[in-house]
Amino acid sequence: MNILLFPDDRLRMDCEPVKNISGGLSAFLERLKETMYINKGCVGIAAPQTGELIRAVVVDVTGHKKASCRSGLLVLINPAIVSGSGAVVTREGCLSVPDFTGNVERRDNIGVSYLDAAGNERHLETSGFEAVVIQHEVDHLDGILFTDRVKNARTDLFRRKNY
């Protein structure tokens, strides 16, 4: 799937909730998952990054050196972060903003409610890197990029040397 790049206006749009789980959605989520795995180092991707303005993300931090909490592949439909505590500053990057990384402060522990790929209601409590990735992807559903969360562009935004 093609990845939208900043400053594409679709990256700034609020996404619509998924109203029904269908075969078309399942096929789209499979392509989204494949797109995440094909991009080396990618641990999450949101539907709007591919131009599909729906509230769906996939996340998998398995095997990432920063991940202490690993839930495996997560398909989150209509995710809502319902609790959070602690704070952590991490260096974030994004497929849609390939030329930069930035220091972003996020909650270190979160609770997220969502529908899984089968339409079942789920709740996940997670922390650390996995929590950060989920927050980053949920931001995409609200038209927010990590660069919007960088406190000081002069000291906390960095040109990426390679991708």
Whole-number Cα distances in Å, 132 to 41, 93, 103, 108, 139:
15, 12, 12, 7, 11
Per the annotation, the verdict on 130 as an active-site residue is: no
pLDDT category, 162, cuts 50, 70, 90?
Answer: low
Residue 158 clears pLDDT 70, i.e. is over it: yes
Give residue 103's domain range: 9-159
Handedness of CA 147, 150, 153, 154 (dihedral sign): negative
Q: What is the pLDDT of residues 107-142, one digit of tens each?
A: 999 999 999 999 999 999 999 999 999 999 999 999
4, part of any domain: no
3, part of any domain: no
Q: What is the pLDDT of residues 7-53, one digit of tens each?
A: 999 999 999 999 999 989 999 999 999 999 999 999 999 999 999 99
pLDDT category, 5, cuts 50, 70, 90?
Answer: very high
Closest CA to 146 of 107, 97, 86: 97
Q: Which residues face 92 on adjacent strands?
A: 102
Residue 69 clears pLDDT 80, i.e. is over it: no
Q: Which residues face 162 on adjacent strands?
A: none
71, part of any domain: yes
Mean predicted confidence (pLDDT) in 77-84: 98
135, part of any domain: yes
144, part of any domain: yes
1, part of any domain: no
Task: Give the C-alpha separation, 101 to 73, whole Å.
Answer: 24
Sheet with 44-46: strands ordered across:
44-46, 56-59, 74-85, 109-115, 121-127
Task: Give the C-alpha separation, 39 to 45, whole Å.
Answer: 10
| Number of domains, the chain | 1
67, part of any domain: yes
Task: Give the C-alpha separation, 58 to 29, whole Å.
Answer: 8
Greater confidence, 161 or 149? 149
| Cβ(18)–Cβ(55) below 8 Å | yes
Q: What is the CATH number of the domain that holds 147?
A: 3.90.45.10
